[in-house]
Structure 1
Amino acid sequence: MRATCAGAALALTVMAGMAQASCGPESGACEIQSGTYHIKLPETPGDDMPVVVFLHGFGGSGQAAISRDIMVEPLRARGYAVIAPNGVPRAEGRPASWTFYPGWPGRDETAFLKDVVADAADRFGTSADTVLLSGFSAGGFMVNYLACDAPDTFSAYAPVSGGFWRPHPVECNGPVRLLHTHGWADGTVPLEGRKLAGGRFQQGDIFAGLEIWRAANECSDEKPTGFGKTGNFMRRVWGNCADGGALEMALFPGGHTVPEGWADLALDWFEGLN
């Protein structure tokens, strides 16, 4: 009986360690050749666990993203592993971010994120196929550009408070499955975009980006096919599009943030896809 109890205690200890899934001697970051990432497994780990990959904003970190319980814990409670990769500075002395704009020098982020998902699958048994790529602000911009260039890379995309930069892409590959979430009062990435660095850079218009996505998905009309409300989220969906695509927008009455309730909203949408 004593041996059985000891064995059970050891198993619980191992499972608790798996739930955090820390790797790395100090920071807890998992290291691959092209970068690092943080991971938390679901409350009840299993085989082939679905994954949400979440990209931090400009100047952020995977550690900060994975520590945001209001976002991460609802995902884990629903059986998802959460992976938070680390961006890298685009120049020495600059904050960490993502190389998303076409022509910018830097890391091949699509290759990096694919390698992150593959490494996590090998180490922790997470799924390499059921993956929702999301991100906030600069991370949201990264999600849009990756989905535009290579929509088959991951299962679906859920950017928050990030779209395209001007000039907008002429076109994107499709079909794509994408849920865009944005704050009505966002002043950092306004819905209409804004100029930065004295006008050298200009954020794009979120609604112009949705028009690009409608074209990629071969939607037959600009008009949404449905409107709805979930909590504070005002939703509009375009369902008159090609097979394999899905496009929805969710606005909330706040600013530049990942709002409370977003995790369940995103997973409800993701799990409802055909």
Structure 2
Amino acid sequence: MIAGGGFAPALAAVMVALWGGAARAGCDDLSAPCQISTGAYHISLPQAARQQPLPVVLFLHGYGGSGAGTMKNTGMIKALKARGYAVIAPDATRRRNGNRSWVFFPGWQGRDEAAFLRQVMADAANRFGVSRHDTVLAGFSAGAFMVNYLACQHPDDFAAYAPISGGFWRPQPESCAAPVRLFHSHGWSDRTVPLEGRYLGDKQFQQGDIYAGLELWRQTNGCESHAPGKAWQDDKALSRRWDCGVDADIEFMLLPGGHRVPKGWADLMLDWFEEK
């Protein structure tokens, strides 16, 4: 107990120190990004925390995008924050034709993306007090390819993985390191990343078949059957689920439309994540 009416000033000083640290970070919302030795990221924190430390959705942008661009998807960001999640949006550094993308395909030269994202999470935990355990790695398009490869190679880095419109490239991995929790959503009429895959760069590269990638995940998760345990339709969205063990479940959601982050994706994904 602080005597002489000093409690309120002391508390105010503590709050100033705490929030001052966040302000000095200078990278919340759309201000300048947080800089670490291997790159940069943006972060946006919920106004009302449902739990401490804050759970996190780390979202990887698509080809030619940026962390700041991700933060401008206000519908998605607000929905995630309304559920009490911090949103982290890092920047890719690989450049192709002047566009930013991720180093996900084996053999490509560039930053160690797994190490970079570990450093992002450690830095955000130190600066803003976010959780290192209640974490979802999500991504769109090229970011979704990165999500799949990181989930395959480093399954313990995040609690769950949520790619949108992206799987593996050919030749896809023959196996993955360990089971994961996976929420994959895709547009039925996506022409940029078709469900069946396509060639890129005068057949220099080939996007893989999304269903072949799901087969790899079923094998990785030790699913007893290729048939889903549950299949249902919610309005125009078609979903299938495989519950194959502890921390080894897959949900695949097929939506009308093309290459985009589906409307309502944030709540659908978090409903799935929070079930377990």
Mark yes or no: TM-score above 0.5.
yes
Please tell me whether residue 135 in structure 1 is matched to residue 174 in structure 2.
no
* Corresponding residue to 2:148 among 144, 148, 155: 144
RMSD, matched Cα: 2.7
CA contact (8 A) 1:22 1:38 kept: no
Question: Match for residue 268 of structure 2?
Answer: 265
Matched, 1:224 2:193: no
SS in 1 for 2:169: coil
Amino acid at match of 2:75: I
- The CA deviation at 1:70 is 1.1
What 5-or-longer segments of structure 2 have no aligned partner? 1-7
Distance 2:22 2:80 in 1: 16
Verify: 1:199 aligned to 2:180, yes or no.
Answer: no
Question: Does the residue aligned with 1:83 lie in a helix, a strand or coil?
Answer: strand
Which amino acid in the other structure matches residue 101 of structure 1? Answer: F
TM-score normalized by structure 1? 0.90
Amino acid at match of 1:87: A
Q: How does 1:233-252 map to 2 (within 5 A)?
A: 233-239=237-243, 241-252=244-255
> Aligned residue for 1:33?
37
Deviation of 1:242 (Å)? 3.4
Q: Secondary structure, in 3 states, of the residue corresponding to 2:240? A: strand
Shift of 1:16: 12
Q: 1:168 Cα shift?
A: 1.3
Please list the CA deviations of residues 75-134 of structure 1 after superposition, one character each: whole Å capped at 9, or x if unmatched. 00010000000001246x631110001111100000000110110010011111111000
- Distance change in 2, residues 1:131/1:49 (3 Å): same
* Secondary structure, counterpart of 1:199 in structure 2: coil
What SS does the corresponding residue of 1:157 show, helix, strand or coil?
Answer: strand
Regions of 4+ moved over 2 Å: 14-19, 21-24, 229-233
- Against the structure 1 CA distance between its residues 232 and 118, is the aligned structure 2 distance closer, same or farther, given a 3 Å change threshold? farther
In 2, the alpha carbon distance for the partners of 1:94 and 1:102 equals 21
Alpha-carbon distance between aligned partners in 2 of 1:99 and 1:115, rounded to the nearest angstrom: 16
**1:101 & 1:17 partners in 2: Cα distance?**
37
TM-score by length of 2: 0.89
The question of 1:95 aligning with 2:99 is answered yes
- Quick one: distance in 2 between partners of 1:232 and 1:71? 20
Separation in 2, partners of 1:227, 1:47: 35
Instruction: Name stretches of at least 5 consecutive residues in structure 1 with no aligned partner.
Output: none
Shift, 1:15, TM fit: 6.8
Quick check: 1:60 aligned with 2:65? yes
